Structure 1
């Protein structure tokens, strides 16, 4: 599976509700027309989160979309289609295209915790949060990815509301997406990945934030992440819209 994420920010002067409607009702259906797209999910920011939980204020982004193709070849073929060009042309109607530079990436998905089977057919698991991360500048990137997967991730799974009753996916940025919509090493990534967690509900999330295991996780974050980047607008509660399961 080949996965790509596009982080997004709305242009100045465009109302939040207008932008969200366009993203959902115009841009989303255009994306669904792109050949080979197997899965497509929009995530629209609802509120920022800090070290103690949901807070007030603004975020540094307005959401992100993820798309899945069977493999890199099918993705590459899709980028040359008129349907993709229609989607790109519509982007300027709803996104700050200059900000997008370096904020789209090919991803390696690491599932740390699958959703509980009991969620199927229920409303549970719809409280979703994301932490967009950048590694500390003094760390080797390959070693940082390994630490995130094999140490920080298991620490998060010690939190009951994640490791037992929730779901948790890490998305490791591999390469940036360039001007031709293809992965490239010529563009500097503006982030190194993001973690997504789904909780049974808001109460479960709040319980997690109060746990000693959460405090351990935050403390360990300083060993790996640029914490100023993380907490100054790059973590958020999301409205998840599964456009194609």
Structure 2
């Protein structure tokens, strides 16, 4: 299955609450109605006090395969949607679209459609001396199990950018790490734990360009299309 991830930001002159109302009430039905969508999750980026907010929302769409992805991206509905760049509240400059496949490191308990869970998403670029395949082997074989050992996580998924994304040059990001927690207390305990600070975080430097990484605090809250078995 192909997993599309959209990082979106509002225009500088647009109020955040206005933007989120549009995103939830107007944009969500458009995205959910795109052809071939198997799952659609809409998340809000939590503002961090004292830090500039580069993104406001994250949209995630799953389709069956490359053919379904191609059909979606060339559909009239997609071109007219904000995901296609036509939203009049969206700032297209910082927005990012990734085409990925998921590798589940820690499945955890199933996430229900109506659950609202805190999540960390880290978008990263590999170190300049590593090829994509070498990076992928380290991420999955070494760093993944290490990160999965952090106490209190609910689910951990690695979303790697598809090889086709590199046909026109380097992709902005090579992938995204996604870790869910039961609640904010569990998230804070995990990132403050010795395991995370002394082992997991330092290990990122072995395969990630840490200066280019973007970590977001996410609130998953709108699962518009969500299979019963997911």
Give the TM bin, normalised by the shorter chain. 0.7 to 0.9
CA separation in 2, counterparts of 1:26 and 1:214?
Answer: 39
CA separation in 1, counterparts of 2:170 and 2:19?
Answer: 27
Note the 1:142-157 alignment, pairs <5 A: 142-157=133-148
Preserved contact between residue 47 and residue 238 of structure 1 (Cα < 8 Å): no
Alignment-derived partner of residue 214 in structure 1: 196
**2:51 alignment partner, SS class:** coil
Give the count of matched residue pairs: 223
Superposition TM-score, scaled by structure 2 size:
0.87
Preserved contact between residue 133 and residue 194 of structure 1 (Cα < 8 Å): yes
1:215-238 deviation digits (Å, cap 9, x = unpaired): 2001101111122222xxx21211
Give the unaligned 5+ runs of structure 1.
Answer: 49-54, 177-182
Superposition TM-score, scaled by structure 1 size:
0.82
Q: Does 1:84 align with 2:65?
A: no
TM-aligned CA distance change 1:140 to 1:188, over 3 Å: closer
For residue 27 of structure 1, report the CA deviation from its aligned partner: 1.3
CA separation in 1, counterparts of 2:91 and 2:112?
Answer: 36
Q: Does 1:195 align with 2:177?
A: yes
Alignment-derived partner of residue 129 in structure 1: 120
Alignment-derived partner of residue 106 in structure 2: 113
RMSD of the TM alignment (CA)?
2.3
CA separation in 1, counterparts of 2:85 and 2:68?
Answer: 22
TM-aligned CA distance change 1:121 to 1:105, over 3 Å: closer
Preserved contact between residue 30 and residue 86 of structure 1 (Cα < 8 Å): no
Preserved contact between residue 160 and residue 175 of structure 2 (Cα < 8 Å): yes
Preserved contact between residue 59 and residue 235 of structure 1 (Cα < 8 Å): no
Following TM superposition, the consecutive aligned residue runs of length 4 or more in structure 1 with deviations greater than 3 angstroms are 88-92, 119-123
Give the unaligned 5+ runs of structure 2.
Answer: none
